[in-house]
Structure 1
Amino acid sequence: MTPQPHELDSFRKDVAAWLAEHRPADPGFLLPQSFMEVSTDQQLDFLREWQHKVWSAGYLGMAWPRAYGGGGVDPAFQSIADQEMRRAGVPICFNVIGLGWAGPLINDIGTEEEKSKYLKGILSAEDIWCQGFSEPDHGSDLGAAQTRAVRDGDAYVINGSKIWTTMGNYARYMILLARTNPEAPRKYDGLSFFLAPMQVPGIETRPIRKLTGEYGFTETFFTDARIPQACRMGDEGDGWKIAMKTLQYERGAEAGAAGGLAFVRVSVDDMIDELRDVSRDGRPMLEEPLLRDQLVGLIMEEKAMALGDRRSAIAPLTTDYPFSLPLSNKLRWTEYSRRLRQFAVGAQGAAGSFYVGDDAARQGGFWQRAYLNSFSATIGGGTSQIQANIIAEHVLGLPK
Structure 2
Amino acid sequence: MAEQGVKDTPEQAQFRQQARAWLAENTPGEPPVRMPLTPLEIMTEDQLHYLQAWQKAAYDAGLIGCDYPVEVGGGGRANCQRIANEEMMAAGTPFLPNVIGLGMAAPTVFYHGQEELKRRLLPRLFSGEDIWCQGFSEPGAGSDLANVQTFAERKGDKWVINGHKVWTSLAHFAEWMILLLRTDKSVKHDGLSYFVVPIRPALGKGVTVRPLIKMTGETGFNEVIFEDLEVEDSYRLDELGKGWQVAMTTLLHERGAGDLVTPRSGGMQTRSAHITSARTLVALSRQTWRNGAPACEDPIIRDRMMQQVIREEGMAANQRRSRVTALQDHPMRLALQNKLLMSEIAQDTAAIAMEIEGAAASLYLADDAAPAGGQWPMSYMNSFGFTIAAGTSEVQRNILGERVLGMAKSK
Same fold, judged at TM 0.5 (above):
yes
Q: Does residue 191 of structure 1 match 2:198? A: no
Deviations 1:126-160 (A, max 9, x none): 11111111001111111111100000011000000
**Structure 2 counterpart of 1:175, from 178, 183, 202:** 178
Aligned residue in 2 for 1:44: 48
Separation (CA, whole Å) in 2 of partners of 1:205 and 1:41: 16
Separation (CA, whole Å) in 1 of partners of 2:166 and 2:397: 23
Query: Is the contact between residue 86 and residue 261 of structure 1 (CA under 8 Å) also seen in structure 2?
Result: no
SS in 2 for 1:348: helix
Q: What 5-or-longer segments of structure 1 have no aligned partner?
A: none
**Structure 2 counterpart of 1:377, from 380, 383, 386:** 386
Q: Does residue 214 of structure 1 match 2:218? A: yes
Separation (CA, whole Å) in 2 of partners of 1:328 and 1:235: 31
Aligned residue in 1 for 2:3: none
* Greater mean deviation of Cα atoms: 358-367 or 153-162: 358-367
Separation (CA, whole Å) in 1 of partners of 2:144 and 2:8: 46
Query: Is the contact between residue 73 and residue 119 of structure 2 (CA under 8 Å) also seen in structure 1?
Result: no
**Structure 2 counterpart of 1:17, from 14, 21, 32:** 21
Q: How does 1:188-337 map to 2 (within 5 A)?
A: 188-198=189-199, 199-200=201-202, 201-255=205-259, 256-264=263-271, 265-266=273-274, 267-319=277-329, 323-337=332-346
Q: Does residue 101 of structure 1 match 2:104? A: yes
Q: Give the letter aligned to residue 193 of structure 1.
A: Y
Query: Is the contact between residue 65 and residue 265 of structure 2 (CA under 8 Å) also seen in structure 1?
Result: yes
Q: Give the letter aligned to residue 314 of structure 2.
A: A
Separation (CA, whole Å) in 2 of partners of 1:72 and 1:327: 28
* Greater mean deviation of Cα atoms: 16-25 or 243-252: 16-25
Query: Is the contact between residue 96 and residue 262 of structure 1 (CA under 8 Å) also seen in structure 2?
Result: no
Separation (CA, whole Å) in 2 of partners of 1:340 and 1:17: 34
Separation (CA, whole Å) in 1 of partners of 2:120 and 2:233: 15
SS in 1 for 2:152: strand
Q: Does residue 123 of structure 1 match 2:126? A: yes
**Structure 1 counterpart of 2:401, from 388, 392, 400:** 392
Deviations 1:6-64 (A, max 9, x none): 55455434433332332223233221211210111111111111110111111111111
Deviations 1:143-198 (A, max 9, x none): 111100000011000000100111112111111111111122xx111111101111
TM-score (norm 2): 0.91
Separation (CA, whole Å) in 2 of partners of 1:317 and 1:261: 24
| Deviation (angstroms), 1:333 | 0.9
User: Aligned-residue CA RMSD in angstroms?
Assistant: 1.9
Percent of aligned positions with the same letter in both sequences? 43
| Deviation (angstroms), 1:78 | 2.1
Deviations 1:267-305 (A, max 9, x none): 222222233222222322212221111111111111111
| Deviation (angstroms), 1:3 | 8.5
Query: Is the contact between residue 257 and residue 331 of structure 2 (CA under 8 Å) also seen in structure 1?
Result: no
- Distance change >3 Å, CA 360–CA 306, structure 1 → 2: same
SS in 2 for 1:196: strand
Separation (CA, whole Å) in 2 of partners of 1:359 and 1:327: 39
Query: Is the contact between residue 149 and residue 156 of structure 1 (CA under 8 Å) also seen in structure 2?
Result: yes
Separation (CA, whole Å) in 2 of partners of 1:261 and 1:316: 26
| Deviation (angstroms), 1:251 | 0.5
- Distance change >3 Å, CA 173–CA 7, structure 1 → 2: same
Separation (CA, whole Å) in 2 of partners of 1:32 and 1:49: 16
Separation (CA, whole Å) in 1 of partners of 2:229 and 2:112: 26
SS in 1 for 2:190: helix
* Greater mean deviation of Cα atoms: 346-355 or 381-390: 346-355
Separation (CA, whole Å) in 2 of partners of 1:21 and 1:362: 32
Separation (CA, whole Å) in 2 of partners of 1:149 and 1:166: 22
Q: Give the letter aligned to residue 208 of structure 1.
A: L
Separation (CA, whole Å) in 1 of partners of 2:53 and 2:231: 29
SS in 2 for 1:276: helix
Query: Is the contact between residue 162 and residue 226 of structure 2 (CA under 8 Å) also seen in structure 1?
Result: yes
**Structure 2 counterpart of 1:70, from 66, 70, 74:** 74
Query: Is the contact between residue 94 and residue 262 of structure 1 (CA under 8 Å) also seen in structure 2?
Result: no
SS in 1 for 2:160: strand
Query: Is the contact between residue 136 and residue 145 of structure 2 (CA under 8 Å) also seen in structure 1?
Result: yes
Q: Give the letter aligned to residue 267 of structure 2.
A: G
Deviations 1:201-223 (A, max 9, x none): 21111111111111111100000
Aligned residue in 2 for 1:87: 90
TM-score (norm 1): 0.93
Separation (CA, whole Å) in 1 of partners of 2:331 and 2:132: 32
| Deviation (angstroms), 1:352 | 2.2
| Deviation (angstroms), 1:315 | 4.0
* Greater mean deviation of Cα atoms: 372-381 or 301-310: 372-381
- Distance change >3 Å, CA 92–CA 322, structure 1 → 2: closer
Q: Give the letter aligned to residue 259 of structure 1.
A: G
